[in-house]
């Protein structure tokens, strides 16, 4: 699903949340029997749930940029204690992960294009593309940063070998 690249959640967490929402009367569920598979629960938002969702949607948080913790950046912060080659290896690994995320994002972008052809999703596609553009800039900035770091490490390595 396209939300996966900006909001990670396990299926178990999603179902826990749905159960909580159902207890609050914000969604309701119906069990659909299936052949050769376990029955499945189908959820629908209630009128009260719709109102609650719209209230949430209209109240943006005071701080819009997310604070985050990065174990990777913390390790770089203390990297004077490890060999430069080790650091370069990890930055290359980071760059590869970013390139994989970029491939995934390209697939999401295609998904948005495909689904925007459906009349009921056309309006949503505009907003989804705003997120795709933001993520594209973040990922490409991460790749550029990794390239700059690798160049700096290479220069530092050359300089130290001359000494």
pLDDT digits (tens, 9 = 90+) for 103-150: 999 998 888 888 778 767 778 888 888 999 999 999 999 999 999 999
Q: CA-CA distances (angstroms) from residue 23 to 7, 52, 55, 105?
A: 23, 14, 19, 35
The Cα 106–Cα 136 span in angstroms is: 9
Give, for 125, the enclosing helix (H) or strand (E): helix 119-162
Instruction: Please say whether the beta carbons of 156 and 31 come within 8 A.
Output: no
Average pLDDT for 26-31: 94
- Calculate the dihedral angle through the C-alpha atoms of 59, 65, 66, 70, rounding to the nearest 10 degrees: 180
Q: What pLDDT is recorded for position 144?
A: 99
Report the chain's mean pLDDT, rounded to a whole number.
89
Query: The domain 1-67: what is its CATH number?
Result: 1.10.10.10
Please check the confidence at residue 45 and state whether its pLDDT lies above 90. Answer: yes
- pLDDT value at 2 more than 70: no
CA angle (137, 10, 76) in 5-degree steps = 50
Confidence at 64, pLDDT banded by 50, 70, 90:
confident
7 or 45, which is more confident? 45
């Amino acid at each position: 699903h396209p939300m996966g690249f900006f909001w990670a959640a396990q299926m178990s967490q999603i179902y826990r949340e749905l159960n909580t929402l159902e207890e609050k009367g914000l969604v309701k569920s119906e069990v659909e029997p299936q052949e050769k598979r376990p029955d499945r629960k189908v959820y629908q938002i209630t009128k009260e749930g719709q109102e609650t969702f719209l209230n949430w949607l209209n109240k943006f948080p005071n701080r819009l940029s997310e604070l985050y913790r990065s174990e990777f950046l913390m390790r770089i912060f203390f990297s004077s204690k490890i060999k430069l080659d080790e650091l370069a290896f990890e930055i290359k690994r980071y760059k590869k992960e970013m390139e994989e995320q970029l491939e995934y994002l390209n697939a999401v972008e295609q998904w948005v294009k495909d689904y925007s052809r459906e009349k009921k999703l056309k309006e949503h596609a505009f907003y989804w593309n705003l997120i795709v553009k933001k993520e594209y800039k973040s990922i490409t900035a991460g790749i550029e940063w990794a390239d700059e770091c690798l160049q700096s490490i290479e220069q530092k390595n050359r300089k130290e070998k001359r000494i």
